[in-house]
Amino acid sequence: MIEILKADTRHVAGIVKVCSDANRNTYSEIRSEEYINRIIKEFYNPERIQREVTETGREWGGYFAAVEENEVIGAIGGGMISDSAGEVFVLYLNPSRRNEGIGTMLLNAHTRQQKEEFNATEQWVSVSKGNHKGIPFYEAKGFIFKNEQQDYGNSEGENYHSLRYYREL
């Protein structure tokens, strides 16, 4: 049985693994290996994840983890970007566990937190241009394309873009 839990220190290694593995799986055909490794090193290292499961608030609501038999198989995290707007900053699944409804369960838990704890009335997400796993998922959940922008994490010579989506809650 899959449980959606507010992540804590027990889940750090699993979040690191699922986010790193899914990042490589998702972006291997649309981002350079250097870019992927740089993002994983910055965002999905044990020290940062440890901090992000223990230090939470409006701007970073923490991680929720999808856990099955004590194994993290998915993770989501985000925070509030204004008084009324929440954002999904990260949502990854074990690549072999896609299309089982786990992403939906994680998004629902995260959305519930943003609505009930932080009074969000809208929700945003950035999806990498060319991410044919994420774009259909968010569109199916009612997110509407708003604009295109430079990717966070671009280094000199890189010109990757993200698509900004939002939905009313």
Note the pLDDT tens digit of each residue in 36-45: 999 999 999 9
CA distance 139 to 57: 28
User: DSSP code of 112?
Assistant: H
Delimit the domains of the chain by residue range. 2-168
Listed as ranges, residues in the chain with pLDDT below 50 are: none
Name the CATH topology of 2-168: Aminopeptidase (3.40.630)
Can you give the pTM of this predicted structure?
Answer: 0.96
Give the model's pLDDT for residue 152. Answer: 79
